[in-house]
Amino acid sequence: AQSVAQPEDQVNVAEGNPLTVKCTYSVSGNPYLFWYVQYPNRGLQFLLKYITGDNLVKGSYGFEAEFNKSQTSFHLKKPSALVSDSALYFCAAYNTDKLIFGTGTRLQVFP
Amino acid sequence: KAGVTQTPRYLIKTRGQQVTLSCSPISGHRSVSWYQQTPGQGLQFLFEYFSETQRNKGNFPGRFSGRQFSNSRSEMNVSTLELGDSALYLCASSSATTDLNEQFFGPGTRLTVL
């Protein structure tokens, strides 16, 4: 079965430190991968996507993600976290006309 | 461009009732997808409509149905509500000329079933 896994329910990081939110996928064929962010009482906002090409994808708000085919991973990263980055982050894979989402990781950035 | 709008934003119903949720996509977008978000199950795909036709469907019972109008607006209907239907229902639109276009999400409708 196609699936996306986010192994951490919550990630805590101090402001100014680098952050990583992990994602692994199990999708047949070439994966098309996405990261979305959800702020309280808001819908999901697109951050970035990987379709093909360079394994390092740059997205909105200084976020980037690294695609690793051998490890079937697509981890979200940011060199220096901000308190305003605190939100719920979803990894997703596109498969046969629908997005399959991970369960989400809550990122908490402390001042 | 205006974003995806969903109405109502909040809804309280009782078991056995039915409910209709509405979604207006971004102008020019012809694809509308619906998702259910719950703390336990996360985000689950309900169905997608493109040019008034259901193009894809998730694993939900027949109580969940939808439709899309010629102006691309979409409605989702849930009949015979159960307590477990309490969730945030998200709608997303895309231009969807290919499957790889990003989806733009609305703020959601929070449904509470008592």
List pLDDT tens digits, range B15-69: 999 999 999 999 999 999 999 999 878 889 999 999 999 988 999 999 999 999 9
Quote the pLDDT of residue A98: 78
In chain B, what residues touch A46 (CB-CB under 8 Å)? 102-104
Under an 8 A CB cutoff, do B48 and A46 touch? no
The rounded distance, in Å, linking the Cα atoms of B45 and B50 is 15
The answer to whether B45 contacts A100, with C-beta atoms less than 8 Å apart, is yes
β-bridge partners, A20: A77
pLDDT, tens digit (0-9, with 9 covering 90-100), for A72-102 = 999 999 999 999 999 999 999 987 667 889 9
Contact state of B103 with A43 under an 8 Å Cβ cutoff:
no
Question: What is the DSSP secondary structure assignment for residue A9, as one 8-state letter?
Answer: S
CA distance B24 to B46: 17
Closest CB from B58, B92, B100 relative to A94:
B100
Provide, as residue numbers in chain A, all residues whose Cβ is less than 8 Å from the Cβ of B60.
none
pLDDT at B73 over 90: yes
Among B88, B112, B24, B35, which Cα is nearest to A41's?
B88
Rounded mean pLDDT, A45-54? 89
Backbone angles phi, psi at A92, to 5 degrees: -145, 150
| Whether pLDDT at B99 is above 80 | no
pLDDT of residue A43 exceeding 90: no
Q: Is the pLDDT of residue A52 over 90?
A: no
Q: Report CA A57 to chain centroid distance, whole Å.
A: 11
Interface with chain B: mutation pick from A10, A23, A94, A99, highest number of B CBs within 10 Å: A99
Judge: B105–A101 Cβ closer than 8 Å, yes or no: no
B98 confidence band (pLDDT: 50, 70, 90): low
Tens digit of pLDDT for each residue in B101-113? Answer: 678 899 999 999 9
Cα radius of gyration rounded to whole Å, chain A: 13
Residue B49 · residue B67 · CB < 8 Å? yes
Chain A residues inside the 8 Å CB shell of B105:
36, 43-45
pLDDT at B39: 84
- Mean pLDDT of all residues in A55-60: 93
Collapsed DSSP state (helix, strand, coil) of residue B84: helix
| pLDDT, chain A, mean | 92
What local confidence, expressed as pLDDT, does residue B97 receive? Answer: 61
Task: Please report the pLDDT score of residue B96 as a whole number.
Answer: 65
For residue A15, name the pLDDT band (cuts at 50, 70, 90): very high
| Measured distance CA(B43)–CA(A105) in Å, rounded | 12
